[in-house]
Amino acid sequence: MKMYQFLKTRHHKEFMRDIQSQFVKNILTDVCTNPKESGAAFAPSNIALCKYWGKRNPSLNLPVNSSLSISLGSLGTRTEIRLHDTPATWADRVYLNGQLQPPESSFVQRVTSFLNLFCPMLGNVHFEVRTENNIPTAAGLASSASGFAALVIALDDLAGWGLDKKQLSMLARLGSGSASRSVYDGFVQWNAGSNSDGMDSFAEPVFKPWQEFCIGILELSDARKPVSSRDGMNRTVETSELYKSWPQQAAADLKTIRAAIESQDFPLLGKTAEHNALSMHATMMAAWPPLLYLQPETIEQIHKVQRVRSKGLEVYLTIDAGPNIKLLFLEEDEASVASTFPGLKTIKPFGSC
């Protein structure tokens, strides 16, 4: 039975790789490769105001529902990538925040597996990747989103492909769904699409600057979460009864948030984003085994946000798959929010708070 499961798993992985490889070939078919010594890029992390949760095609990271995010400005990932034409005994090297990572780590395996999709276009080469996160890795602050977006843009820089952002968004999606949104700044919508080949699932900017819009990062833990977003998503879709109503709610929330951005109706945006986030976590807690990304400190801060809002401070929250809270507020309330939530890191995506 164990051997059967091994063969079944290996066959499934090979099948997924074939689908992904064909997708990459479709995008790069008419693109000329003119590699240079190295490529580098920065990509911002992003916080979803209308969440993506659930895949209709895991091989191509095609989402069940469309989503909408806001970038975190200078918070994110900077990546440099180099080519090494070396003997087969030499392996890819991946550095994270200056530290060489062990080849067997899940982080390295995700990076090298992704890069291997592009090897046919670049020849028999190996890569050296140096990536720097100025946000905690795998702690619910979308480090994988900025990480894979930066990796794809740096790879495009190295290879000389000259891809447009729509193409970069689709390629980044293969590494992490949320990475499709991190190739842009500001408000970004990731269209779920409907085609089975995934060519209509990409992110695009929402060109509506909101100078007074602020995000506050309330970092409660920098520990790696015990269940990855990818695994947690699969568990929720497969076992949570509450998930059945999620796609319809997400579609309605997205429409409302787009309208709130257009009219700059902050209370409407804030309450819709908060409800969307807590609804997503409700579907996780209804999974089996239950997914509890929220820590006691998270619950305490949720109560605090709701308590101070009832007293007149216009602040809302959103939470991704992790314990850390992101506060949403306007610049006029920055001082009050900062004094109420000590240690808050404030970001203004369209200017400087």
Return the CATH number of the domain spanning residue range 2-205.
3.30.230.10
- Give me the pLDDT at residue 15, please: 80
- Give me the pLDDT at residue 7, please: 33
Q: Where in the chain is the domain with CATH 3.30.230.10?
A: 2-205
113: left (phi over 0), alpha (psi -120 to 50) or beta: alpha
Return the CATH number of the domain spanning residue range 213-347.
3.30.70.890
- Give me the pLDDT at residue 140, please: 45
pLDDT at position 204 over 60:
yes
- Of 10-19, 220-229, 269-278, give the range with the top mean pLDDT: 269-278
- Band (142; pLDDT cuts 50, 70, 90): low
- Give me the pLDDT at residue 6, please: 39
- Give me the pLDDT at residue 224, please: 78
pLDDT at position 344 over 80:
yes
Percent of the chain's residues with pLDDT above 70: 92
* Cβ neighbours for 15, distance < 8 A, ≥ 6 positions apart: 59
Going by C-alpha positions, the residue among 80, 159, 152, 151 that lies closest to residue 125 is: 159
Q: Which residue has the tokens 């990304």?
A: 293
Pair of tokens at residue 240? 């949570």
**Mean pLDDT, the chain, whole residue set:** 91
Q: Where in the chain is the domain with CATH 3.30.70.890?
A: 213-347
- Strand, coil or helix: 157: helix
- Give me the pLDDT at residue 86, please: 59
* Cβ neighbours for 258, distance < 8 A, ≥ 6 positions apart: 68, 189, 206
The strand ranges marked E within 219-294 are: none
- Give me the pLDDT at residue 223, please: 77
- Give me the pLDDT at residue 111, please: 94
- The whole-number average pLDDT for the span 32-46 is 95
* Cβ neighbours for 333, distance < 8 A, ≥ 6 positions apart: 313, 314, 315
- Give me the pLDDT at residue 226, please: 84
- The whole-number average pLDDT for the span 66-93 is 85
- Give me the pLDDT at residue 198, please: 96
pLDDT at position 5 over 50:
no
- Give me the pLDDT at residue 138, please: 47
Pair of tokens at residue 107? 């982080």
- Give me the pLDDT at residue 84, please: 75
- The whole-number average pLDDT for the span 64-85 is 92
pLDDT at position 8 over 60:
no
- Give me the pLDDT at residue 90, please: 62
